[in-house]
Structure 1
Amino acid sequence: MSNFSIRNLLRLFRPLWAVMTAVFLPFTLAVANPPPALAPVVSLPDFTGLVDKVGPAVVNIRTTGRIPFSNSSIELPPGMNSHEMLEFFQRFFGFPLPQQRPTPRSEQDVPEEDVVPDAGIERNHGVGSGFVISADGYVMTNAHVVYDADTIYVTLLDKREFKAKLIGADKRTDVALLKIDANDLPVVTLGDSNTLRVGEWVVAIGSPFGFDNTLTAGIVSAKGRNTGDYLPFIQTDVAVNPGNSGGPLMNLRGEVIGINSQIYSRTGGFMGISFAIPIDEATRVAEQLKATGKVARGRIAVAIGQVTKDVAHSLGLPRAQGAFVSSVEVGGPADKAGVQAGDIILSFNGKTIDEASDLPRLVGNTKPGARVPMTLWRKGKKRDLGVTIAAMEADRPARAMLPKADPRMHTANSIGLTVSSLAEAQLKALKLGYGVRVDAVQGPAAQAGIRRGDIVLRIGDADIMNAQHYMDHIRNFSVIAHIDHGKSTLADRIIQLCGGLSSREMEAQVLDSMALERERGITIKAQTAALTYRARDGQIYNLNLIDTPGHVDFSYEVSRSLSACEGALLVVDASQGVEAQTVANCYTAIELGVEVVPVLNKIDLPAANCANAIAEIEEVIGIDATDAVRCSAKTGEGVIDVLEALISKVPPPVGDPQVPLQALIIDSWFDNYVGVVILVRIINGTLRPKDRIVLMASGAQFPVEQIGVFTPKAQARESLSAGQVGFIIAGIKTLTVAKVGDTVSHANKPALTPLAGFKEVKPQVFAGLYPVEANQYEALRESLEKLKLNDASLQYEPEVSQALGFGFRCGFLGLLHMEIVQERLEREFNMDLITTAPTVVYEVRQNNGLLAIVENPAKLPETSKIEEIREPIVTVNLYMPQEYVGSVITLCTQKRGVQLDMVYRGRQVQLVYEMPMAEIVLDFFDQLKSVSRGYASMDYEFKEYRPADVVKVDMLINGEKVDALSIIVHRSQSMFRGRQVAAKMREIIPRQMYDVAIQAAISSNIIARENIKALRKNVLAKCYGGDISRKKKLLEKQKEGKKRMKQVGSVEIPQEAFLAILRVSDK
């Protein structure tokens, strides 16, 4: 009994136990496992010990020099030249005070070119920092702190000042070594920059703005940062300002791990990014300077570029690594070792090259005369070879002191220099035999440290004798190619090899800015790229690539762009041969006197046949293609040879920078922020910001706000001179003012005559654009206005159609232009459009003697008032393989073509026809591609207007004319076309509740008819039997109802019906 009672009690406690466990168990666990204690707060490092330890070894460096007046002083605006203002600038910003040049007693009688440059006066040249590395007085600092200094003063923390001797300075690494006459000096401890970690605390000590022994702290942001200089820098966020240069960068142990050298700034002050020279590299340089006073470096004489993913993929390289060899100096160490342009250097002396910037440092640190192994990647395979290191030449002096710039001759280039020739007396005074003076500097040249007043003696390995010789290193060129022959890809490779864009910025078809250009593989707007290339002869050339449209619709723009060039690359697909568009544009270039350089592209394709392509170029175009360059723009093979051929065969530009300005407008477009941007080639004269210009065709005048070049990124410049290609921004609000082919000149001293070749571009094809929804009319008008801001050749005017309502009659340069405008309206402005059939312009001579221009069939006068109608005739050039000649001739005959010539050119056949343009704009191109299976190409040009027996065919729906469906055709084809359109519309227009009659008529004569049967309800379905009279009564009642519906009803015509005229021959 007791056992039973205990068992029952347990059963009663089980639910209660479960509840107690659920409630109290969490608290029990919480007590058993208390939360972890809060982590102790980590305090920021204490830098006081560093100051006490290193501070005495950090010195202030002050330099003085003989400064030319034109460069030494700050130019203040009028009204700010008071003594107090000048003293303020000198005291707080370190600017030297302006000085007045002493006037020679007989200066009025001495020509300006005979005045000997002044020696200058001694002024504060610079201030910086340094640190003592040995107790006997050796001090390390930056080379740019002491460069060009006459006297160097070193001030210690205890205020003792010593005159220092410059042991040596290496501009490439920006390291200099000084020696002062002192002993038992406090010294710094040198650390190991290789052990430095990103995120580690670092401290800088220096004299920013002259404030001695200033300490700033931060962290290491990155290591091995490539800034385009010789060394990979340590990047920090330590506040570094002018005056900190040359000071030590230390870790928390007080060890120097770098020398503060550069900052990234757009204002001249610190912006959160600073760069330091790794102390390991600096020590290596200092040791050589101490031993010999100079640094011996190795060189292998190659120009290199970064290997991008695209380049690696195209060359079969597993991953993007190494240094891409863009050119090899003839006779240099690499050339002797067998290195070729297009190779990729994977390793040097056993060390892997991850980035292109690794190679110069590894080569430079190699002893001249040593022979080291090198691994290359060539044609999908690794190749090992040995190279003997040559000694790098010492840096040549680049500066000299000059009087005020002589403005007799200026010219500019893509590296940002504007220079002028030197007179004999000036050269003699400077003890120079040649050279040009820098009058303005910006862009890459300014970043490299070149200043106004410097003397340029050499660019690359070429001595610059005078400004014209400097101009001889400019090449302006374009690229001519048929669609899909690789023009944009070749332009990408050229830009990549010349360093126009970094690997991060490169993308396919980089010059094609519009989505339509990328999708269709065509060029719509002209673009330019100013590039710099070191040729195999060691000289540096400035290449201005002008990428022009190639389609026949833009033939005028092509001619103007080609007239801005001295040379053109004729790119031909080695697997396709010469095609129509290639021939037309090449003939234009030859007529303009442009030097044509043939290039065979896509040689990597299995179907490539270079021999046939060369034969076609010589036979079809008539130029010598024996030395045609073979390349593959996709893989990069042979692209260096293209650039070398360009330099050797294309002549430099000619022009006089001192005559009145003449600049040819290549293209223009509207920018939402700055207004119209004008792309120009300076033929003569020099243009600078704030000049007032006049557009000679319209007479409009504007002040120049900004000028510059595209690389292809926009870069501002201080001047554009003869031979240069760049852009102008002058606050212009509409493209109709800046027309392609117009001449830009100075308003105050314009050129006597504009450049030849300008003409007004007139539309050749017209079509109606109507919104699908009537309430979208205003939106369409605004869209056309905005589109015209970037397309001056587009013309439009309002028109009203009985069938389509309110819309616009638009004029286009051709069918492609029409398709582009329509697609842009639909994509960029979200417009739903109905487009009528395209028509050409007819000249109609009326009985009263008046000549009417008719571009809309609905506006054609009545037949009784017309004396004669003349239609435009074009000359058509067609190219196709031999097997399709018969089909193409049949097509041309159907289109009223008259054969003028037929020539067999190798595997291709050229047909020349005269044909009405009205036949071209409908469906000729589509049918040509159809009968030739896509292999035929065509090009055409306007010839003349000729009388023609053409008539207007009206389409009637239930007896009502639909003006939007009217067409003008030749009388012999009117009945056929009328039947085709009527039959096509019968298929498209939906059936109604009544019969619909579709008729084609010439005046009052009906030439074709189609009927759309009515939808018919089976009214007899409810009559299962009975008298026949009942059924007849129901049928008569239905017939009367349909008759009344036809009288009051209207037929809705779908959009496809308006396009039926374009597809009447579709089966």
Structure 2
Amino acid sequence: DKPNCRPDEVQEEVFELMCTLDAKEDQLDFPTIYGSAKQGWMSADPQKPSDSIAPLLDAIIRYVPAPKVEEGTPQLLITSIDYSPYVGRIAVGKLHRGVLHAGDTVTLAQRGNVLKKCQIKELLTFEGLGKRSVPEVTAGDICAIVGLEAFEIGDTVCDAENPEPLPTIAVDEPTMSMLFTINNSPFFGRDGKFVTSRHLKERLDRELEKNLALRVQPGPSADSFVVYGRGILHLSILIETMRREGYELQVGQPRVVTKEVDGRMCEPIEVLNIDLPEEMSGKAIELATRRKAVMLQMDRRGDRMHLEFEIPSRGLIGLRNQLLTATTGEAVVSHRLKGFEPYRGPIESRQNGSLVALESGTAYAYALNKLQDRGAFFIDPPEEVYAGQIVGECSRDIDITVNVCKSKKLTNMRASGSDDKVILAPPVRFSLEEALEYIQADEYVEITPHAMRLRKIELDENVRKRQQRNGG
């Protein structure tokens, strides 16, 4: 359903991938089903659309083999975790062998040859979008188990008397961290229902119960926490969920997680794919290579170019915004984690400084009009601002404090036609992900249920100047 779709090329790429993975001859003879999620149809022939997704369901029944089952004692590898506010954590996995009954006593085999006895309180199977309680499950069934305690992904539920653990699976480690702290701005408590550090800690603890890739550690102060995730998108989903639930919080600049391998500092490296019009490929290559990216591939696909790079995860911070700006929104960007490789050196950060509000009050068009030559603004009159809030991007590479609350003084003498008409450029508006990518190390994003603002960590201008003089 897209003008630049290329189903034949994609099928060839899938075939090459299968060959690279040493697929067997019968596996290379795979069926292909074409479709459009937008229009709601699937078909074995892309030129002959159907009126439903029945061809996909028929193909699953025809080609996907039934689960292979073995006789013997039960073995279930925990591959996912669900959570219920009533029963707590729920283990989810496929029963590889044997039979499990509600009420059975089983052994939970964990990493490090740790074995502990548990009792199954309830067995659930999945039906449609919900779950159904059942008395037993047999080999091949995907089920959820209520009653296990302190389990993790990769643990095995096995026989109580003769435990035989399955090989464990590993969960990818986090690649990025971010500081979460309470909202201490002058607008604290205006929008949110949950505003204290206790609320924030309880919410993060609840998220740990079901968000497998998340890690939380105490921050530098009692009311802050360092949250680790798999990237900006992963962490921004959590922040957006909390915002909708009524939380107020502030988050700092994302930082990439590094680790030492064989005595060398290593950082996460990702494979970056960019699809864009051919005439704009030069801009994309320049932006990516500035961030220590190495080009792997460059292909022409119709009137568009496909670029593939290896780039450090920290190089991706803010890159999407720059690519979309440079290509007038035409670039399609995706990336995936490759692994950890030696550190590639420093990367230049945002070049422009910030326009910072001098005082608290209401922003006026009169003041913004006089300051338009200083840069682009993020606010619209008559929006309320506070001292230390970032109200725009400076056209130079320094931070400038501006008074956006200055109003035109009234007098008892007015000349007819002497007032100039104020025409302001539209303000720049950020999404949450864009704001997280935009901020610098000395800035926060303030998130409330009804607003999102950028601010300096230190609101007092004199303190900021003193810190700058002292090299802080």
TM-score class, shorter-chain normalisation, is: 0.5 to 0.7
Of 668, 671, 675 in structure 1, the residue corresponding to residue 81 of structure 2 is: 668
Q: Gaps spanning 5+ residues in structure 2: where? A: 189-194, 361-387, 391-396, 407-441, 447-452, 458-472
Does the 8 A contact of 2:356 with 2:401 survive in 1?
no
CA distance in 2, matches of 1:917, 1:844: 16
CA–CA distance in 1 between the matches of 2:456 and 2:61?
51
Question: Take 2:444 and 2:59, find their aligned partners in 1: how far apart are those partners?
Answer: 60
Q: Which residue of 1 aligns with 2:321?
A: 926
Correspondent of 1:784 among 204, 211, 215? 204
Residues 692 and 748, structure 1, Cα contact 8 Å, conserved in 2: no
Of the three residues 791, 794, 797, the one matched with 2:214 is: 794
**Shift, 1:1054, TM fit:** 8.5
- Which one-letter code corresponds to 2:254 in the other structure? P
Does structure 1 residue 651 correspond to structure 2 residue 65? yes
Q: Secondary structure at the match of 1:598?
A: coil
Any conservation in 1 of the 2:252–2:444 contact (CA below 8 Å)? no
**1:779-811 superposed Cα distances (whole Å, 9 cap, x missing partner):** 21112112222223221122136xxx7311110
Per the TM alignment, residue 747 of structure 1 is displaced from its structure 2 partner at its CA by 2.7
**What is the aligned partner in structure 2 of residue 875 from structure 1?**
271
Residue type at the aligned position of 2:236: E
Contact 2:443 2:455 (C-alpha < 8 Å) held by counterparts: no
Shift of 1:604: 8.6
How many matched pairs? 361
**Distance change (3 Å), C-alpha of 1:1054 and 1:750:** closer
Q: What residue identity is the alignment partner of 2:358?
A: P
How far apart are 1:836 and its partner, in Å?
0.6
In 2, are the aligned partners of 1:879 and 1:938 still within 8 Å (CA)?
no
Partner of 1:717: 134
Out of 158, 168, 191, which is 1:745 matched to? 158
Cα distance, 1:916–1:761 mapped onto 2, change above 3 Å: closer
Determine the C-alpha separation between the residues in 2 that align with 1:989 and 1:711.
55
Aligned mates of 1:1052, 1:650 — CA distance in 2: 52
Distance across 2 between alignment mates of 1:945 and 1:604:
39
Counterparts of 1:289-328 in structure 2, within 5 Å, are none
- Name which of 824, 839, 842 aligns with 2:241: 824
Secondary structure at the counterpart of residue 196 of structure 2: helix
SS of aligned partner of 1:647: helix
Partner of 1:679: 92
The equivalent of 1:771 in structure 2 is 182
Maintained 8 Å contact 2:175/2:268: no
Give 1:639's aligned residue.
53
Counterpart position of 2:166: 754
Alpha-carbon distance change, 818 to 637 in structure 1, aligned in 2, over 3 angstroms: same
In 2, the alpha carbon distance for the partners of 1:671 and 1:901 equals: 46
Checking the alignment, whether the CA contact within 8 Å between 2:91 and 2:148 is kept in structure 1 is: no
User: For 1:901-958, what per-residue CA distance to the aligned partner results, in whole angstroms no more than 9, with x for missing partners?
Assistant: 22345666432211111011x22233344427355131222333213333xxxxxxxx
- What's the CA shift for 1:812? 0.8
Q: Which amino acid aligns with 2:179?
A: G
Distance 1:872 1:705 in 2: 41
Q: How far apart in 1 are the matches of 2:6 and 2:36?
A: 11
* AA of the residue aligned to 2:318: D
Secondary structure of 2:219's counterpart equals strand
Cα contact 1:694–1:747 (8 A) shared by 2: yes
Comparing 897-906 with 806-815, greater Cα deviation is found at: 897-906
Provide closer, same or farther for how the CA distance between residues 1052 and 888 of structure 1 changes in structure 2, counting only shifts above 3 A: closer
What's the CA shift for 1:597? 4.9
Quick one: distance in 1 between partners of 2:48 and 2:120? 42
Indicate whether 1:988 and 2:383 are aligned. Answer: no
Matches within 5 A, 1:805-844: 806-828=223-245, 830-843=246-259
**Residue in structure 2 matching 1:1012, options 393, 401, 410:** 401
Q: Could you tell me which amino acid in structure 2 is paired with residue 759 of structure 1? A: A
Q: Deviations over 1:219-260 (max 9, x none)?
A: xxxxxxxxxxxxxxxxxxxxxxxxxxxxxxxxxxxxxxxxxx
Question: What is the rounded CA distance, in whole Å, between the counterparts of 2:166 and 2:182 in structure 1?
Answer: 43
Structure 1 residues without counterparts, runs of 5 or longer: 1-484, 486-572, 611-624, 852-867, 951-969, 999-1007, 1018-1050, 1061-1067
Query: SS of 1:664's equivalent?
Result: strand
Q: TM-score, normalised by structure 2?
A: 0.64
1:696 partner SS: strand
Equivalent residues of 2:174, 2:228 under 8 A apart: yes
RMSD: 4.4
Higher relative contact order (CA 8 A, sep 6+): 2
1:875 touches 1:943 (CA, 8 Å); kept in 2?
A: no
Q: Is the 8 A contact 1:695 1:738 kept in 2?
A: no
Whole-angstrom CA distance in 1 between matches of 2:117 and 2:45:
46
Query: Are residues 597 and 728 of structure 1, via their aligned partners in 2, closer, same or farther at CA, if it must alter by over 3 Å?
Result: farther
Secondary structure of residue in 2 paired with 1:785? helix
Q: Give 1:177-192 correspondences, 5 Å limit.
A: none
Cα distance in 2 for partners of 1:650, 1:669 equals 26
SS at match of 2:247: coil
Kindly provide the amino acid, as one letter, of the partner of residue 927 in structure 1. Answer: Q
Contact 1:659 1:684 in 2 (8 A): yes
| Mapping for residues 123-522 of structure 1, pairs under 5 Å | none
Q: In structure 2, do the counterparts of structure 1 residues 869 and 722 end up closer, same or farther at CA, with 3 Å as the change threshold?
A: closer
Is the contact made by 2:4 and 2:302 (CA closer than 8 Å) also made in structure 1?
no
**What is the match of residue 213 of structure 1?**
none
Structure 2 letter corresponding to 1:831: Y
2:341 to 930, 945, 951: 945
TM value normalised by structure 1 = 0.30
* Structure number with larger C-alpha Rg: 1
Letter in 2 for 1:755: P
**Residue in structure 2 matched with residue 893 of structure 1 by the alignment:** 289
Letter in 1 for 2:120: V
More helix by share: 1
